[in-house]
Amino acid sequence: AGIAYTRIHRLLYTQQLLTMTANARLAPCRRVWCTLFLLCIVVFSSCATVMAQESDNGAAASAESGSSSSESKGSEEAPKKEEPQSPKVKQNNASSSSSSDDWGSFYDPNNIFCGKYDCYKILGFDYETWGSAPPTLKEITKSYRGLSRLWHPDKNKAKGAREKFVAIAKAYEILTNSEKRKEFDYYRDRPDEYFQKYGSSVLWTYAPKSDASIIGLVLFILANLFTYYAQRNKYDKVANHLIRAAVEDWSAREGGSTESIEIREKALAILAENREKAIEAAQSNGDTPKKKEKGPRLTSKEKREKEQVELRPICAKLVNEIDDFGAGFRKPTYKDLLVIKMVKWPYYLGSATLWWSKYGIRRMRKLELNAEEREVLTKNAVGEVAWAASSDEERATMVTLELWVSDNLVEWREEQDMKREGLSANKRKQIKKLRKKGSGGDYGNDDDLHLD
């Protein structure tokens, strides 16, 4: 009765779990009625199965009693204390291995262990009857060897012998592995936990913990590479602008500078020298200069484009020889790595804090600005790029203009805009006078004047 109750309880729990999984998306009312209906079917089928098994067990018990009585004629009866020993393996018993119907049942839809059969039953053991003395590894091996010889496909040509042999080998593999056997015993009465781990047909295991030190090292290396290539991009941006200004002969109004003009002059000199060398080489080889073929003459635009094509590689080579354009626009070095900057940050922060502290104390004492303070304030007002691009004379002029005052800074920037527009000194003076008088908009009706 206890065995039947356990099996009925297991079947009911398994069927309920499968029913709840299949009908998870149905409406609540419909799910309840379907579940009750299936439970009724399971109860009736289980009762019929139990009754059939009881009749079979009765017949088997009568047969065993007859055989035991014949065997006990030449031996003494064992004491009652020795009755709960582990059952002996019946390797040659046809009822234990001739049919897969005697292999029990197990909830294993994903075939993690022995599929729908019980691994113990396959090797002739009964999990429900051995009590506190489970079969040992020696007993499992002995049973496996007997059954494997019996159902080996080379010796047994019966139908299904190969499948039985594979199942026996699988059961032996599971039960001889301590971890697999322990897991198999654990999930025997816990189909819900089996479903949580294996029910989705996806086998999972916990991934090993990542080493935080390795991750931090990788991120730190990537940060250093980022700062290095950021400095490279900063340098390339100025270099490309300078090459284009030199090749296309930009004026100050178009974005050119004294450096671009100097590079263009050097490039033109190198180009002329290369042409002379080419002519001399041709003459030394005895080649006579070819006469110009008659054809359409090149326009001035085509000539200029041809010259630019010849000048571009020369200008690029000259610009790449410049390692530092000033204002932080330089080729990247090891100093641009993040680790070097992090080492220097405390020094920069401390020096800046000390300088501004002294500046605040001097302002509180109402002292005049010294030369260093004037230079720092002017540099901060005009910007690092404009300060680096200026000559020593221009820097001295900017310091005397007191550009840290907002009005002076606005006036200075307007004058710089007029210089870039290409206005003469007289025109700039006229514009200043007109602004002082309060008139604006029309400064001599010059079409070339475009000021904000």
Q: What type of residue sits at position 207?
A: A
Q: What is the per-residue DSSP string for 245-307?
A: HHHTT--TTTT--HHHHHHHHHHHHHHHHHHHHHHHHHHHTTPPPPPPPP-PPPPHHHHHHHH
CB 262 within 8 A of CB 394: no
Residues facing 324 on adjacent strands = 330
- Measured at the CA of 169, the angle between CA 163 and CA 173, to 5 degrees, comes to 145
Q: Which two tokens stand for residue 159?
A: 């139908």
Backbone angles phi, psi at 134, to 5 degrees: -70, 160
Q: Which of 435, 431, 433, 451 is nearest to 443 (CA)?
A: 431
Check residue 254 and give its pLDDT. 75
| List of long-range contacts for 225-228, beta carbons under 8 Å, 24+ apart | 226/338, 227/336, 227/337, 227/338, 227/341, 228/332, 228/336, 228/337
Check residue 432 and give its pLDDT. 73
Local confidence pLDDT in tens for the 452 residues of the chain: 556 556 666 666 666 655 565 555 545 556 667 777 777 887 777 776 766 665 555 544 444 444 444 343 334 343 333 443 433 444 434 344 445 557 888 877 778 888 888 899 899 888 888 777 889 999 999 999 999 999 998 988 888 889 999 999 999 999 999 998 998 888 888 887 887 777 655 555 666 677 888 988 999 999 999 999 999 998 899 889 889 988 888 887 777 778 888 888 999 899 888 888 888 887 777 665 555 555 577 787 888 888 889 889 999 999 999 888 877 788 898 888 889 989 988 998 999 999 999 999 988 998 888 989 888 999 888 887 778 777 788 888 888 888 888 888 888 888 877 777 766 777 777 777 777 776 554 444 444 444 43
Distance from the Cα of residue 126 to its chain's centroid: 51
- CA distance to 287, 422, 425, per residue, from 252 (Å): 44, 8, 15
Check residue 169 and give its pLDDT. 92
Q: Which of 16, 172, 200 is nearest to 109 (CA)?
A: 200
Backbone angles phi, psi at 292, to 5 degrees: -65, 130
In sequence order, which residues have a C-beta less than 8 Å from that of residue 93 and are 6 or more positions away?
124
Say which DSSP state 334 is in: G
Check residue 442 and give its pLDDT. 45
Q: Which two tokens stand for residue 308?
A: 């630019």
- What is the total residue count of the chain? 452
Check residue 138 and give its pLDDT. 92
| List of long-range contacts for 55-62, beta carbons under 8 Å, 24+ apart | 60/95
Backbone angles phi, psi at 330, to 5 degrees: -140, 170
> Alpha-carbon distance 370 to 353, whole Å?
18
Backbone angles phi, psi at 210, to 5 degrees: -75, 145
The model's pTM is: 0.44
